[in-house]
Amino acid sequence: GAVVSQHPSRVICKSGTSVKIECRSLDFQATTMFWYRQFPKKSLMLMATSNEGSKATYEQGVEKDKFLINHASLTLSTLTVTSAHPEDSSFYICSARGAGENTGELFFGEGSRLTVL
C-alpha cells in the first residue's frame, strides 16, 4: 500500500511559539489530505480537509488562524500550530487519499505528538 509520512513524530515547544508539522505522501500524489487531532483515550477528530492548490476546509469549531494548513504540492501538506498553548498539546495525524489502484483508500501517517510547555 501507499505510504504517508509525518515529521516530526514528537515535538516539544514553549508556549507562544509556532510549530510546523509536515505530512508527505511518499509514493503517490495526493490531491486531498486530512488532518486529525486525537485526544488521550478518545477518538480522532477531523480538523480540516487540505486540498492541493486551494484553501483548506476547516471543520466547525476549528480555528483556521490557529491551525494553518498549506498544501503546496501533490505530496506535501503542512499544519502549523500558531502561538501554541498547553491546551494545543495533542496527537496530530494526517491522512492522504490514495490514487491509482488505491483510489478511495485513506492512508494514515504515524502521527505527531505535540507537547506545549
Q: Contact region for other proteins (CB under 8 A) — 10-18, 20-28, 62-70, 106-114?
A: 106-114
Angstrom distance (rounded) from CA 17 to CA 113: 16
49 residue type, one letter: T
Q: For residue 53, what is its C-alpha cell? A: 492548490
Q: Which residues pair with 71 in a beta bridge?
A: none
Angstrom distance (rounded) from CA 19 to CA 86: 13
Among 13, 29, 32, 74, binds other proteins (CB under 8 A): 32
- Residue 34 touching other proteins (CB under 8 A): yes
- Residue 104 touching other proteins (CB under 8 A): yes
Q: Measured from the CB atom, is 49 or 115 closer to other proteins?
A: 49
For residue 85, give the nearest of 69, 99, 66, 112 by alpha carbon: 66
Angstrom distance (rounded) from CA 11 to CA 21: 9
Q: Measured from the CB atom, is 114 or 116 closer to other proteins?
A: 114
Among 14, 40, 43, 61, binds other proteins (CB under 8 A): 43
Binding site for other proteins (CB under 8 A): 1, 32, 34, 36, 41-46, 49, 57, 93, 95, 97, 104-106, 108-111
